[in-house]
Chain A
Amino acid sequence: MTSVRQAAPALVTVAVLAGAAVAALGLGTPLVAPHALPALIFEGSAGQGAPVSVESVVVWELRLPRLVTALLGGAAVGAAGLLLQEALRNRLAAPELIGVSSGAALAVAVCVVWALPVPLALHPVAGLAGAAAGGALCLAAARLGRSPAAVLLIGAAVSAALQASLLAVLSVADRLQYDLLFRYLVGSLTGVMWDQVGYVAPWIAVAVPLVALCVPALGLLRLGDEAAAALGGRAARARLGVLAVSALLVGCVAGPCGPLAWVGFLAPLLARRLRPHGEARAWLPWSAALGAAVTVVADLAARTALDPVETPLGAWTALAGVPVAALVLARRTA
């Protein structure tokens, strides 16, 4: 009985992920049946030269890279959200609420809009620098030990200032490019191809072992600063390391997808609900998996809900994330 109950969330998550992935590959114009997908992907990946059908081009060149980016980006932001929340011991410390996302988006947007001579492959570095700067600004202003609401307020102020700068950068561009606006304001996967996947994937690969290294630190931080110090741990240093890793995760995703608003908030929250008695170590993989699931589902909505118009993914996650956040607040105060 207990094993069934423990396995159920895993099965549901896998089922949701698989279903959303098949839908993401199949839905749209042209509509592709699930059983035809493997053949089309194989046909598309077989490469140049051979005459290929329209379906296989669409699936291989457009939908698959988008799906892969959504999975990678969602997992990265979901994990980053959990790391931030645990490191600051603040359930409201989502990347978009403490300046990390806006900083990353601003840095990348400056590179793109002003056509700075930064190679595409180094955009994740710019994003990382922006994320670290935004987060550091916020935390320095808020000081670490203060209450969630105070950190949140200062985070909102810093984020608002960063977003205002972002809008200013976009408004002095030659021509207002709405897709750029949406991507960097809330997050969008419009027009992602294999190139962008290639730029992001190595950074995620670097980040995975670093995230694994964070796990013991999370256990330490959970004790609280005094207890950690009493046990000989260096809480401040551990916290800094965890924050740096989460900035890396958010920063490398910001280039192709923007901030992916609210994914870093929703995923850890769902993970905690699924494993109410767990701890950070157990939540981390869940948070990554759920982040990927949320992103894929939201991107599906973004692509198909107002067909043929594409909407930004981040708008849908905001519409889902805010009511959930409100419910969490209501439960906590009740």
Chain B
Amino acid sequence: MSPARAVLRWAGVVTGLLAVAAAHLLARGGADPATAAEALLGDRSGLDHRIVAELGAPRLVTALLTGAALGVAGLVLQTALRNPLAAPEFTGVNPGAVLGILAGLQSGLVPADSAGGALAAALAGGAAGGLVTWVIAGRSDAGGLVVAGLLGGALLAGFTTLLLAYQPSRFGNALRWLIGSVEGRVWEHLAHGWWWVCGWTLLAWAGAAALGVLSGGDEHAASLGLNPRVARALLLGAAIALSAGAASLAGAVSFVGLVVPHAARWASGGDPRRGVPLAALLGAGAVTLADAVAQVATRLLADGGAAHRLGVPTGVVTALAGAAVLVTVARRSRHLPG
């Protein structure tokens, strides 16, 4: 690819992301573009300004961070495991993180609105979930890993259900975590998430060269002087950290970590050094767009008179769109087992 075309492509991706972000801010309704711009520049004079600055903007940042984390986590998982179907939701990591958060809330270890506590609980749960899948999978092939991930996810969901049933009154907004929503996130919720996600994304980018070497096979990596086991363990750790970060921000937003990396790999020509930042940008754009759609749908439903507590959750939009994309791709793909 010539440098000029590469620059054009990156510019296109960034412009698209900015456009999606602007659409997200305006999708809520109530603020015209001028008000939103003033609010972002520090004007706090009117109610609309404050709504944009204190509700709209953190929601947007949450969506961007969640998407970026999921996109990169998925790309790292798929490349390091050399499995086009590996994704946070299909490796037990995402269900585990949700279970961790709910268990933390249940046991009282995590205060209800503590951002750092949710992150730690999600991290512990995500690691445990990945471990469960790894134990179930044993030494199976690509298809077997997916099956193991689904089974591990079902097991973790069973525990989650038991936990919810045990004391439902403690989980006023458990649905948020179960399905994934960025509704009502404010700046306090982002206190730890932003540096966690940004930091691990940069680390994953730094490790992208190793990722590229690993994708060529273990023997290939060893012959180049890279210990494949150590490298893979480190990269998987980064993927779990990113998935847990996303889960602690927005709960289990599904299918972003599965679909976005495919787009990123296709657009980057398979080079992880370009693929990691692309996956971050595309993932951020995907979740933000999904949340914009969710906000519009919520407004339409509210106009229609339907009562709503949480609005239409973002996770519903990503799940429906992601399932459609996955089914389309799976029908065409020859990489799938079978």
A: residues with CB less than 8 A from B are 92, 97, 141-143, 146-154, 156-158, 160-161, 163-165, 167-168, 170-176, 178, 181-182, 185-186, 261-262, 306, 309-312, 314-319, 321-323, 325-326, 329-330, 333
Q: Let me know if B308 and A319 touch, CB within 8 A.
A: no
Q: Let me know if B144 and A311 touch, CB within 8 A.
A: no
Q: How far is the CA of A261 from the CA of B331 in the complex (A)?
A: 27
Q: Given A147-B338, A309-B166, A165–B155 Cβ distance below 8 Å? A: no
Q: Let me know if A319 and B319 touch, CB within 8 A.
A: no
Shortest beta-carbon distance, A208 to chain B, in Å?
A: 30
Q: Let me know if A329 and B148 touch, CB within 8 A.
A: yes
Shortest beta-carbon distance, B138 to chain A, in Å?
A: 6
Among residues of A, the one whose C-beta sits closest to the C-beta of B90 is: A156
Contact of B320 among A149, A164, A310, A329 (CB under 8 A): A164
Q: Given A149-B143, A312-B161, A322-B155, A160–B254 Cβ distance below 8 Å? A: yes
What DSSP secondary structure best describes chain B's contact surface? helix
B: residues with CB less than 8 A from A are 85, 89-90, 136, 138-140, 143-144, 146-148, 150-152, 154-155, 157-159, 161-162, 164-168, 175, 178-179, 254-255, 301, 306-310, 312-313, 315-316, 319-320, 322-324, 326-327, 330-331, 336-338
Q: Let me know if B309 and A171 touch, CB within 8 A.
A: yes
Contact of B179 among A167, A174, A178, A306 (CB under 8 A): A167
Contact of B155 among A149, A173, A185, A318 (CB under 8 A): A318
Collect the chain A residues with CB atoms within 8 Å of residue B254's CB: 160, 164
Q: Let me know if B150 and A168 touch, CB within 8 A.
A: no
Q: How far is the CA of A141 from the CA of B143 in the complex (A)?
A: 17
Collect the chain A residues with CB atoms within 8 Å of residue B154's CB: 261-262, 318, 321-322
Collect the chain B residues with CB atoms within 8 Å of residue A185's CB: 161
Q: Which of A167, A174, A175, A333 has the most CB of B within 10 A?
A: A167
Contact of A97 among B150, B157, B159, B324 (CB under 8 A): B150
List 9 additional A-B contacts (Cβ < 8 Å) besides A153-B336, A167-B178, A319-B155: A149-B146, A153-B330, A161-B323, A163-B319, A174-B307, A178-B164, A312-B162, A319-B162, A322-B158
Among residues of A, the one whose C-beta sits closest to the C-beta of B145 is: A149
Q: How far is the CA of A333 from the CA of B148 in the complex (A)?
A: 12
What DSSP secondary structure best describes chain A's contact surface? helix
Contact of A310 among B155, B165, B307 (CB under 8 A): B165
Collect the chain A residues with CB atoms within 8 Å of residue B255's CB: 157, 160
Q: Let me know if B331 and A152 touch, CB within 8 A.
A: no
Q: Which of B147, B315, B324 has the most CB of A within 10 A?
A: B147
A-B contact pairs, 5 of them (CB 8 A): A147-B337, A157-B323, A164-B254, A311-B165, A325-B151
Q: Given A161-B320, A319-B159, A149–B331 Cβ distance below 8 Å? A: no
